[in-house]
Amino acid sequence: MRSLLLSVWLALAAVIASAAQAEPVVRVNLAAEEISAVAMDGQQVWLRLRPTAVSRLQAITQQHQGELLELTVAGHQALKSRINEPVSPGVIQINDPDPVLRQELLALQHQLQQGDGSR
């Protein structure tokens, strides 16, 4: 009986896992060149996007309402969120970025403040 219960539980776990994996995920990577400003306050980071990045992200989020958005910045995962409406203001808030991403963003912030980010 215990073996049957364990088998049923494992089968159910596999079905749930495959259903979770089947959900569409929209992956978008923002390159450093697509960011015009970085602001930090404690564990929150705000990125101001350049107009071309805003347009690209707005088009993607318009087409993928209700799906999950996985946003990476310079190859590092920044956030994962459900797309409820198109992105339009051009500012993205990242809560508690991982330490590697935080260091990348600090370097980018410094570069942009020095005027080297006029790409």
pLDDT in tens, the chain (119 residues): 555 544 545 555 555 655 555 678 999 999 999 999 999 998 999 999 999 999 999 999 999 999 999 999 988 999 999 988 887 778 999 999 999 999 999 999 999 999 854 44
pLDDT of residue 23: 79
Alpha-carbon distance of 113 to 116, in angstroms, equals 7
| CB neighbourhood size of 112 (10 A) | 18
Cα(20)–Cα(4) distance, integer angstroms: 24
pLDDT for 24: 85
pLDDT, position 5? 45
* Global pTM value: 0.74
Structure token digits, residue 108: 């980018």
3-class secondary structure, 83: coil
